[in-house]
Amino acid sequence: MVVETSKNLIVVTGGSKGIGRAVVTRFLQAGYPVATCARSAADLAALSTDLTANVPGAVLHTLPADLSQTEDCARFAAFVLALDPPVEVLVNNAGAFIPGRLQDEPADGSQLRQMLAVNLLSAYDVTLPLLPGFIARGRGHIFTICSTASVMAYPNGGSYGIAKHALLGFTKNLREELKPSGVRVTAVLPGPTLTASWAGVELPPERFVQAEDVAEAVFSAYSMSPHAVVEELLIRPQLGDL
């Protein structure tokens, strides 16, 4: 188990819903202060009201930010760096899914650029400003929430699949670079997860991964000794992909 003399900061992007919300909740329940962001100020306010009421002693810092925009990534990173204590864990969770075939996407490439901005560049632009602190301290853990779409192509995956493959590549490069520093890096690859993205789909809950299970896997990977790292966490529904 990780031995802490004090609880350092956990940073989760896209923390108001789904997997992000479950990760925020899990670390708050363990007594860690958490900083998160989301595009909707109203969703963040509701998150803060709910969790501070239901998790005793919860310390939650929130900032409305659209991480598909470079300037918002910089603003969120500056917000995090201004907080005390230092960052212990970064969970790059912000993302979006637009289904469809590449051949049907706009000819100007705007859909690919949108998917890269929110699923890949958001992680890149938030991680880089925080790296000096991780490296200087010689510890910490960076997670990227990838997808099974990062390791296999789907017929309706389109530009989303390209972006998620690239996110896994980013994570693998980061892992190699940070090996000597003591900073751990983990790619999390969930299959279909029961979140708002699947609203309206007429399938039973047992066909999905639960967001809380992904959060527990992240927390467990972090809780290992600093001498070991889970490089990839592949999580699928028990009955397989949809």
Helix (H, G, I), strand (E, B) or coil at 51: helix
Domain-embedded: residue 112: yes
Number of domains in the chain: 1
Cβ burial of 92 (10 Å; 0-12, 13-18, 19+) is buried
Does the pTM surpass 0.85? The reply is: yes
Domain-embedded: residue 53: yes
pLDDT of residue 163: 98
Longest dimension (CA), the chain: 54
The first and second tokens of residue 87, run together, are 């960052």
The first and second tokens of residue 225, run together, are 């000794």
Query: Of 13, 83, 89, which Cα lies nearest the Cα of 44?
Result: 13
* pLDDT tens-digit series, residues 172-183: 999 999 999 999
Domain-embedded: residue 4: no
Q: Which domain CATH number covers 28?
A: 3.40.50.720
pLDDT of residue 196: 66
Query: Of 58, 57, 72, 80, which Cα lies nearest the Cα of 11?
Result: 80
Domain-embedded: residue 181: yes
Q: pLDDT at residue 157 above 60?
A: yes
Domain-embedded: residue 25: yes
Using CA atoms, how far apart are residues 233 and 87, in angstroms rounded to an integer? 22
Domain-embedded: residue 2: no
Domain-embedded: residue 46: yes
Residue with the bigger pLDDT between 182 and 6: it is 182
- Mean pLDDT over 130-142 rounds to 98
Domain-embedded: residue 3: no
Domain interval for residue 218? 9-235
